[in-house]
Amino acid sequence: MAVIIDGKAVSAQVKENIKTEVSALQEKGISVALAVVLVGEDPASKIYVRNKKIACEAVGIQSKEFLLPESTSEDELLQLIQQLNEDPEINGILVQLPLPKQIREQKILESISPIKDVDAFHPVNVGKIMTGAFDFLPCTPAGCMELLHSAGITAEGKRCVVIGRSNIVGKPMAMLLLHEHGTVTICHSKTPNLAEICRTADILIAAVGRAKLVTADMVRPGAAVIDVGMNRQDGKLCGDVDFDQVEPIAGAITPVPGGVGPMTIAMLLKNTLKAAFLQNNL
């Protein structure tokens, strides 16, 4: 039986700490604000934006929403970001993805000032993650690291396998494990012998987007298994790991829901607080 790593509980603790720090800043006359930009009517994006607003308010961070129509041009969005970059009352800027097809995502991400880039998607911040001299960490991989630490697990000296190589999750996840002195293998859709490689892992991170891809035969007894996946199967939310099969074998495991998901928002709040510290030279 694995230790179930409770993302709700860990994120609640992180948010409590952030709340304390936000109120200490407020006592010094410094407020913390996040600008959230949503273009269009994507229902999932609307839910994410609403959840981010609720989370900000719960810790005392102001959330300023900018809701733009689906027809917004790239130039109009660039203009708004320019204004937000220059606005001293805005500490963090988040542009909810995906964007409508007439807008180039990379162009927008590159237009956000690196010191307000709380998603850590700007090439400057991506480069800093490579070197280890980072200000902001990408929210989901940072959340996975906090979950491992909460269970007393560090990557040092461990064999780590990350399934998935996206810029948002897989690649930065591998870098964070490497910075912590793990020996890291990255797998993807062209990797032969996936099960065999996964079975070598002391720490297995699944960031694929395929429901229940990771089965019992892919997990080494006692391994820590972090499930980033958010999939729907038969109308129910499930991860990339077949939890019922893997839980009896693993040493520690995150559930879906209630694992990595709550941590991603907590890390966004942490980055927004960090941005406020940086911008106030604290």
Supply the DSSP string of 43-55, one letter for each residue: HHHHHHHHHHHHH
Backbone dihedral region of 157: left (phi > 0), alpha (psi from -120 to 50 degrees) or beta?
left
Shortest distance, position 158 Cβ to ligand NAP, whole Å: 21
C-beta closer to ligand NAP: residue 22 or 205 = 205
Catalytic residue among 119, 135, 202, 242: 119
Residue 194 within binding range of ligand NAP, rule CB under 6 A: yes
* 232 is an interface residue for ligand NAP by CB under 6 A: no
Please count the CA atoms within 13 angstroms of the CA of 189 that sit on its side-chain side: 4
Structure-block tokens of residue 119: 């998603």
Cβ closest to ligand NAP, residue 28 vs residue 232: 232
User: Residue holding tokens 């991989």?
Assistant: 141
147 binds ligand NAP (CB under 6 A): no
User: What is the dihedral sign for C-alpha 10, 13, 17, 19?
Assistant: positive
Nearer Cβ to ligand NAP (113/125)? 125
Active site residue 53: no
Instruction: Kindly tell me which residue out of 5, 120, 145, 169 binds ligand NAP, with binding defined by CB under 6 A.
Output: 169
How far apart are alpha carbons 226 and 220 in whole angstroms?
13
| Residue 96 annotated as catalytic | yes
187 binds ligand NAP (CB under 6 A): yes
Q: Cα torsion at 137, 143, 147, 150 (round to 10°)?
A: 60
Least distance to ligand NAP, CB of residue 268, Å? 10
Question: Does 77 sit near ligand NAP (CB under 6 A)?
Answer: no
Give yes or no: 52 in active site: yes
Q: Which is nearer to ligand NAP, 84 or 136 (CB)?
A: 136
In the bound state with ligand NAP, the residue whose beta carbon lies nearer, of 25 and 159, is 159
* Type and span of the H or E element at 244: helix 243-246
Q: Which two tokens stand for residue 14?
A: 């992180």
Question: What's the min distance (Å) between Cβ of 139 and ligand NAP?
Answer: 7
Total binding residues for ligand NAP by CB under 6 A? Answer: 26
162 and 186 Cβ atoms separated by less than 8 Å: yes
Q: Which residue has the tokens 């609307």?
A: 46
The pair of structure tokens assigned to 251 is 């040493």
Active site residues: 52, 96, 119
Residues that bind ligand NAP (CB under 6 A): 140, 163-166, 168-170, 187-191, 194, 207-210, 213, 228-231, 260-261, 264
